A and B are shown apart, each in its own frame.
Chain A
Amino acid sequence: MSLSSTMSFTVGSTARFGPRAGTVILLRAGISLSIDTPAPMVATSRGVIAHLGRDQYKRMPLQCISLPFESFLEASPPIPTLQPNSNNPLHTLLGFTPGHNALVLTLRDPSNSNETPANGNDYVSASTGRGMKKVTPAQWTEYAHACAPDLVVALPDIPWTPPPFSQKRVTKSIERTANWLAKLLAPTPLPLNVLVHMAGGISEPARRAFTDSLTETLYGKEAEAIHPHKCLDDGVVGYVFDLVPLGKAMEASADGARDEQENIVAFLRASLSSARTPKLRIVNSAESPHQILRLIRDVGVDVFDVKWAQDAAQFGVALDFVFPLPKPAAEGNKQRDLGHNLFHTQYAHDFSRFADFLPGCPCLACAPVGAREVILHSAIDAHTPDANGIPPYTRAYVHHLLHTHEMSSHSLLLMHNLAVLDAFFTGVRGVLQGGENFAAHVDRFAAAYDERLTVVHEARTMWKDVDLARGKGRLARERAAGESM
């Protein structure tokens, strides 16, 4: 039987909205894991952090890991539920370490915006590598208990059919999400740390109504079903906000009165207007450090996935920004890019390290650590460690790797980008804990760096070109081109 874990969360500020620093403490079979917030959460695909090896997981500052479960539905039963000989089946299967990594289990990949068939009254449609699979709340409860993650997101009813959505559909979404949450909160000897996705779409009244349904005291059978909790909210340790479905719905609605960013803040605030603080607030698919800072400032969000920075590594961008900006900042009129598109030929002869503004970047690309332990293959093998330190990897080298379609490029960039994000969140917490004027720092940051992520978009285009020219299917494409000539 798997051991469950308990979670506590404390925050420095009791204000409903506004920046706050906090601490999550997870206790799991006597092992405690403390996570200071605001904190980053690393996205996974098919259960792995692409471009990192398991040996690297252990050597990096990875704490929160977001784990979409849907790819495992390809096999029945899903393999995480079969992992033998472990109190931490999910950690064991995926190579994460209890006490070091907090695994947040969710059914669907929150960054995937693909259209999917409608959910039903008693199931969610999930996307796997082998087509769609329906998952019922009962199955989800079973999977969650078998996997024993640190945190689990109750099944949400998020419509993935094309927006806009009728009021009836939104109401249904609210009811289903609350019902399915109640099923996950059913009495059990080993309760889970449950998160709930805040329903209601882009309707503020609907979002408020959903929160009301969480905090409403239940009676009779409904109360028994979630015993010992008095209301659904008592049973959850935090709230999740997925921005991708919000973005899609906003695109489809004609409301042009507020900009998208203002809207998102308003939606999150609507969900939290009657919620009891403090509970952990998690945002999925923020698109930039600017947006992260605003959601910390205006709402008080505690955890953000950093998929956008992982994507930047995939596209060849080495991030290069800091928060707070050093004083005095190198003031200039021109906004700086958030990083360097190493596909660009300007880096072919650039032997400097990835980042200008993080001279002490501790990542394994900027501060490589020589092999401490080396496998010796015969009795006469010996290992003499390098007397001299290993110099940082250079932009020129990664430029070469990107243009030759070498996977190591993404690995080096990802290690770096995650370190940049780690330093960024450390900077955020430092400002909050030091009682400095957070909003002023956010303004300076926003003025200094290009929010449009131009550098990432450029890199993405170049990455696609190289992928077409050198990636999978290249020979077939070349043959086709040759024949059409």
Chain B
Amino acid sequence: MAQFELLARCPTTRARVSRLTLAHGTTMLPTFMPVATQAAIKGLSPQQVESLGITLILNNTYHLNLRPGTKVLSEAGGAHKFQGWNRNLLTDSGGFQLVSLSKFTTITEEGALFSSPFTGEPTMLTPEESISIQHAIGGDIIMQLDDVVSSLTPDRARVEEAMERSVRWLDRCITHHESSGRKTTQNLFAIVQGGLDFELRERCLTQMIERKDKVAGFAIGGLSGGEEKDIFWRVIRQCAEKLPEDRPRYSMGVGFAEDLLVCVALGVDMADCVFPTRTARFGIALTRRGPVNLRLAKYAQDFMPIDSECPCPTCVEGMSRAMLHHIITRETSAAQGKSNVIFNRSAVHSFTAVTIHNITFQAQLMGGARDAILNGTFPTYLRTFFATYFEDVGYPEWCVNALRSVGVDLLDGSTVKIVSGSGAKWE
């Protein structure tokens, strides 16, 4: 069973530093988990990922169940051995992808009924089946199957049904997991649902916390689906406040720098998102001053690295923005078609270089938060980050509100303006 030790608390905010020890080593929290959907971080070897100081990654159950399938994974001795990753691994339940990727999914009390992408045959993913697949994958953290509804669903009855069903499915996951003999190496997390409705969230929290002794941690699900940021943070705060101190809290699908730091300030320990790796493939490098769009002509003769203070191999090697700009695929090139292979191939080099940088950026951001919390300087860390990142475009109002709720006022002594909406920075 997972060992979870609290090491430090921020005296002002609800942020905390903890040590999570699982079957494949120790991960310091708060942390960001890069996503290796198909048992590979796109373009990188596990050794490269490890060298970036990453100790916990995510695999997607839905995808691995389709390919290579549980038979191959079992023969390999689990997903760790299959992909050569000897650090910690988390798998989701597969439920989210059923809803986001499949047009034909029907949720019943039994489970999620969908048409197989290979044969088109009706296939049922039950809570028990999800846990069995995750057992074959062998992740150190496994997630309950939940009934996922979009955070934008206006139908409160459906949200309520999904929340109540997620509690019932948690019980079935617990029962199946406990009878499997896997409890010593794999740790089950519950997922709090309830949409954007505080009353439903409250009921879900109460019921799931009652099962605390049977779960190793709690995730906050059903968010990051395009909802108003001002509601997003309030739901995170509500959940993080109520969830037990002695269990890790995992906010699903959160990856923007400002979102991560707000979540940490509200008491979140873990987060995952495809954003940093996916955006890398569009030529966007993440920096403390905001995203850098390497496709822009203004970088064509910029011989500086993405960030000269960044410790990632791409920046340390001094790979220039000009060179990255040169090798990022241009649509016009690919459209010519004649030698498309050549263009696709060299672009891979930039995907990989920027992916390395972006993963490191996320890890630096969270590592910096850990240090600041340990040193009692987390409010200053927040102020410095937001000032550096947003000074030219203005603070997102929701961030100001969220951090005020935990005692940090970004506007105190600041002249930076405030912007409404998500305020996410782009280039």
Contacts and interface: CB of A to CB of B under 8 A. Distances in A.
A368 B348 contact: no
B15 interface: no
Contact of A410 (B84, B342, B348): B348
B311 interface: yes
B360 A375 contact: yes
A314 B345 contact: yes
Contacts of B311: 375
Interface stretch (B50-58, B155-163, B191-199, B402-410): B50-58
Contacts of A53: 48, 313, 349, 352-353, 356
A129 B332 contact: yes
A371 B327 CA distance: 27
A400 B83 CA distance: 10
Contacts of A372: 51
A377 B51 CA distance: 11
B104 interface: no
B45 A411 contact: yes
A391 B81 CA distance: 9
A46 B327 contact: yes
Given A351-B76, A364-B47, A384-B25, A71 B367 contact: no
B53 A400 contact: no
Interface in B49-90: 50-53, 63, 67-68, 71-72, 75-76, 81-84, 86
A381 interface: yes
B330 interface: yes
B349 A408 contact: no
Contacts of B366: 377
Interface stretch (A87-95, A250-258, A433-441, A443-451): A87-95
Interface in A100-123: 109, 112, 114
Contact of B47 (A369, A384, A401, A403): A369
B282 interface: no
B38 interface: yes
Contacts of A349: 71-72, 75
B301 A79 contact: yes
Interface in A325-381: 348-349, 351, 364, 368-381
Contacts of B300: 75, 79
A443 to B, nearest CB: 35
B190 interface: no
Contact of B326 (A71, A370, A377): A71
A479 interface: no
B166 interface: no
A205 to B, nearest CB: 34
B370 A50 contact: no
B371 A378 contact: yes
A381 B336 CA distance: 48
A114 B318 CA distance: 34
Nearest to A379: B371
Contacts of A411: 43, 45, 352
A408 B51 contact: no
Interface in B330-366: 330, 332-334, 336, 338-339, 341-346, 348-349, 351-353, 356, 360, 363-364, 366
B211 to A, nearest CB: 31
Interface in A402-430: 403-404, 406-408, 410-412
B121 interface: no
Contacts of B76: 351, 394, 396-397
Given A130-B332, A349-B75, A397-B82, A375 B51 contact: yes
Contacts of A52: 349
A351 B75 contact: yes
A227 interface: no
Nearest to A48: B349
B25 to A, nearest CB: 7
Given A71-B326, A114-B339, A411-B43, A50 B25 contact: no
A15 interface: no
Nearest to B49: A371
A376 B28 CA distance: 11
A94 B348 contact: no
A390 interface: yes
Nearest to A130: B332
Contact of A92 (B44, B63, B318, B338): B318
B122 interface: no
Nearest to B8: A380
A396 B300 CA distance: 41
A397 B51 contact: no
Given A375-B360, A396-B76, A400-B67, A407 B339 contact: no
Given A74-B326, A375-B363, A408-B45, 11 more contacts: A45-B345, A50-B349, A53-B356, A314-B345, A348-B68, A351-B75, A364-B47, A371-B48, A373-B51, A386-B86, A407-B43
15 contacts: A46-B346, A47-B327, A53-B352, A54-B319, A79-B301, A93-B303, A129-B343, A371-B51, A377-B370, A378-B28, A380-B7, A400-B38, A400-B72, A401-B39, A404-B67
Interface of A: 45-55, 71-72, 74-75, 79, 82-84, 92-95, 109, 112, 114, 127, 129-130, 314, 348-349, 351, 364, 368-384, 386, 390-391, 393-394, 396-397, 399-401, 403-404, 406-408, 410-412, 472
User: 4 closest A-B pairs (Cβ-Cβ)?
Assistant: A377-B367, A50-B345, A371-B51, A129-B333
Interface of B: 7, 17, 19, 25-26, 28, 38-48, 50-53, 63, 67-68, 71-72, 75-76, 81-84, 86, 300-301, 303, 311-314, 317-320, 322-323, 326-327, 330, 332-334, 336, 338-339, 341-346, 348-349, 351-353, 356, 360, 363-364, 366-368, 370-371, 374
